[in-house]
Chain A
Amino acid sequence: MTSLVVLPVLIPLCAAAVMLILRSPMWQRVLSFVALLSSLAVAIAVLVEVWTDDEILVTRLGGWPGSFAISMVADRLAAVLVVVALGVTSTVLIFAIGQRSRDEQSPFYHPVYMVMTAGIVQAFLAGDLFNLFVAFEILLMASYVLLTLEGTREQIRSGTTYVVLNVIESLVLVVAVGLIFGATGTVNFAELPARLAELPDGVRNGLQLLLLVAFGIKAAVFPLFFWLPDSYPTAPSSASAVFAGLLTKVGVYCLIRVQTLLFPGEMRGLVLVVGALTMLVGVIGAISQQDMKRILSFHIVSQIGYMVFGLGIGGTAAIAATIFYLIHHIPVKTSLFLVEGIIERDSGSSSLASVSGLARRSPMLAMLFLVPALSLAGLPPLSGFLAKFAIVRAGLDDGHYVVVTVALVVSLLTLVSMVKIWVGAFWGEPSNDRDISQANILLASPSMSVATGMMVALSIAIAIGAGPLYEFAGDAARQVLDVGGYVVGVRGS
Chain B
Amino acid sequence: MMLFVAIFAQFAVGGLTLVGLRRRPALAAALGVVVLACSAVLVAARGIGGAETSSYSVRWLPILGFNLNVQLDGFAVVMALLVSVLGAAVLVYSLAYFEHDGTYARFVGLFMAFAGSMFGLVLAEDLFTMFVFWELTSVWSFLLIGLNDKSTSARQAAVRALLTTGAGGLCLLAGVGILQVQYGTTSFSELLAAGPSGNFAHAAAILLLLGAFTKSAQFPFHFWLPGAMAAPTPVSAYLHSATMVKAGIVLLARTSPIFADVGVWRWWVVVAGVVTMVLGGWRALREVDAKLVLAYSTVSQLGLLTVLFGVGNRYATYAGVAHIVAHAIFKVGLFLGVGVIDHEIGTRDVSKIGAARRAMPTTTLAMVLSLLSMAGIIPLLGFATKEKALVALLDLERDAVGVVALAGVVVGSVLSVAYSIRLLRAVLRSDVAPERSQVAAHSSVDADHHSSVAVRIALSGPVVVAAAVSLAAGLTAATVGSWLVAPSKSLDVNAVSKLALWPGINDALITSAIVIAVGAVIGWRAPLSQSATSAATGERVFDGLYDTTMRLAKRITAVTQSGSLPIYVGVTLLVAAGGLVAGLVIDAPRLTGGVSWGSPLEALVSIVAMVLAVGVAVARPRFAGALFLGGVGYAIAVLFAMRGAPDLATTQLLVETLTIVVFLLALRSMTQKTGTHVGWTPRVLRLGIAVGVGIVVPLFLLAARASRIRPSPAQEYFARSLDEAGGRNVVNVILVDFRGFDTMGEIVVLAVAALGVVNLVRRAAR
Question: Which residues of A are in contact with B by a Cβ distance under 8 Å?
Answer: 13, 16, 20, 61-62, 64, 68-70, 106, 108, 111-112, 115, 118, 122, 130-131, 134-135, 137-138, 141-142, 144-145, 148-151, 156, 160-161, 164-165, 168-169, 172, 175, 178-180, 182-186, 195, 198-210, 212-214, 217, 222-224, 226-227, 229-230, 281, 284-285, 287-289, 357, 359-360, 363-364, 367, 374, 379-381, 385-386, 389-390, 392-393, 396-397, 404-405, 408-409, 411-413, 415-416, 419, 423, 426-429, 466-467, 470-471, 474
Contact = CB atoms under 8 A, between A and B. Distances in A.
A18 to B, nearest CB: 13
Contact of B760 (A151, A164, A217, A386): A151
Contact of B568 (A70, A150, A226): A226
Interface string B150-188: 100001001100110011001101100110110000000
A209 B586 CA distance: 13
Contact of B155 (A186, A202, A412, A428): A428
Contacts of B550: 287-288
A446 to B, nearest CB: 17
B583 interface: yes
Interface string B697-735: 100110111011111110010001000000000000000
Given A151-B764, A397-B181, A470-B64, A108 B759 contact: yes
B178 A206 contact: no
Contacts of A68: 716, 720, 738
Interface string B441-483: 0000000000000000000000000000000000000000000
Q: Give the 10 A-B residue pairs with the shortest CB-CB distance, closest first.
A: A206-B583, A202-B587, A209-B579, A151-B763, A202-B586, A145-B756, A427-B149, A134-B745, A288-B553, A183-B704
A474 B64 CA distance: 11
Contacts of B267: none
A109 B737 CA distance: 31
Given A206-B703, A392-B177, A396-B181, A226 B742 contact: no
Q: Which of B146, B174, B554, B572 has the most CB of A within 10 A?
A: B572
B703 A287 contact: no
A112 B749 CA distance: 10
B730 to A, nearest CB: 13
Interface of B: 18-19, 22, 59-64, 66, 102, 106, 131-132, 135-136, 139, 142, 146, 149-150, 155, 158-159, 162-163, 166-167, 170-171, 173-174, 177-178, 180-181, 549-550, 552-554, 556-557, 560-561, 563, 565, 568-569, 571-573, 575-576, 578-580, 582-588, 590, 697, 700-701, 703-705, 707-713, 716, 720, 737-742, 745-746, 748-749, 751-753, 755-756, 758-760, 763-764
Contacts of A470: 61, 63-64
A359 B149 contact: yes
B636 to A, nearest CB: 14
B553 A199 contact: no
Contacts of B713: 185-186
Q: Which of B576, B703, B720, B764 has the most CB of A within 10 A?
A: B576
Given A151-B764, A363-B18, A470-B64, A209 B582 contact: yes
A230 B561 contact: yes
A137 to B, nearest CB: 5
B576 A213 contact: yes
12 contacts: A61-B740, A112-B752, A138-B748, A145-B756, A160-B565, A213-B572, A284-B560, A288-B553, A367-B18, A381-B132, A427-B155, A428-B155
B178 to A, nearest CB: 6
Contact of B572 (A160, A224, A416): A224
B73 to A, nearest CB: 23
Contacts of B155: 423, 427-428
B177 A393 contact: yes
Contacts of A386: 61, 66
A222 B181 CA distance: 30
Q: Which of B62, B709, B741 has the most CB of A within 10 A?
A: B741
B61 A138 contact: no
Contacts of A195: 710
A149 B759 contact: yes
Contacts of B753: 141, 145
Contact of B163 (A131, A223, A379, A419): A419
B576 A223 contact: no
A411 B78 CA distance: 34
Contacts of B60: 466-467
Given A115-B752, A224-B575, 14 more contacts: A62-B741, A111-B755, A112-B756, A145-B753, A145-B755, A148-B759, A168-B573, A205-B583, A206-B580, A206-B703, A207-B583, A284-B553, A408-B171, A408-B173
Nearest to B22: A363
Contacts of A210: 576, 579-580
Contacts of A381: 132, 136
Nearest to B710: A185
Contacts of A142: 752
B586 A205 contact: yes
Interface majority SS (helix, strand, loop, mixed), chain A = helix
Contacts of A145: 752-753, 755-756, 759
Contact of B563 (A64, A230, A392): A230
A342 B737 CA distance: 47
A191 B356 CA distance: 87
Contacts of B742: 70, 130-131, 134
A184 to B, nearest CB: 7
A22 B168 CA distance: 59
B711 A185 contact: yes
Contact of A203 (B159, B576, B587): B587
Given A68-B720, A360-B102, A393-B177, A172 B576 contact: yes
B755 A108 contact: yes
Contacts of A179: 700-701, 704
A138 B745 contact: yes
Contacts of A217: 572
B169 to A, nearest CB: 8
Contacts of A397: 181
Nearest to A178: B701
A62 B704 CA distance: 30
A108 B763 CA distance: 12
A199 B162 CA distance: 54
A224 B574 CA distance: 11
Contact of A183 (B177, B705, B759): B705
Contacts of B738: 62, 64, 68-69
A134 B163 contact: no
Contacts of A112: 752, 755-756
A208 B701 CA distance: 14
Nearest to A67: B713
Given A115-B748, A185-B712, A287 B584 contact: no
Q: Which of A134, A142, A288 has the most CB of B within 10 A?
A: A288
Contacts of B586: 200-202, 205
A142 to B, nearest CB: 5
Given A212-B579, A466-B61, A427 B146 contact: yes
Contacts of B705: 182-183
B696 to A, nearest CB: 9
Given A112-B752, A145-B755, A367-B18, A161 B174 contact: no
A419 B576 CA distance: 37
Contacts of B177: 389, 392-393, 396, 404
A423 B585 CA distance: 53
Contact of B579 (A118, A148, A206, A466): A206
Given A202-B583, A396-B177, A137 B166 contact: no
B258 to A, nearest CB: 19
A244 B170 CA distance: 27
Contacts of B66: 386, 389, 466
Contacts of B585: 202
A165 B569 contact: yes
A208 B580 CA distance: 9
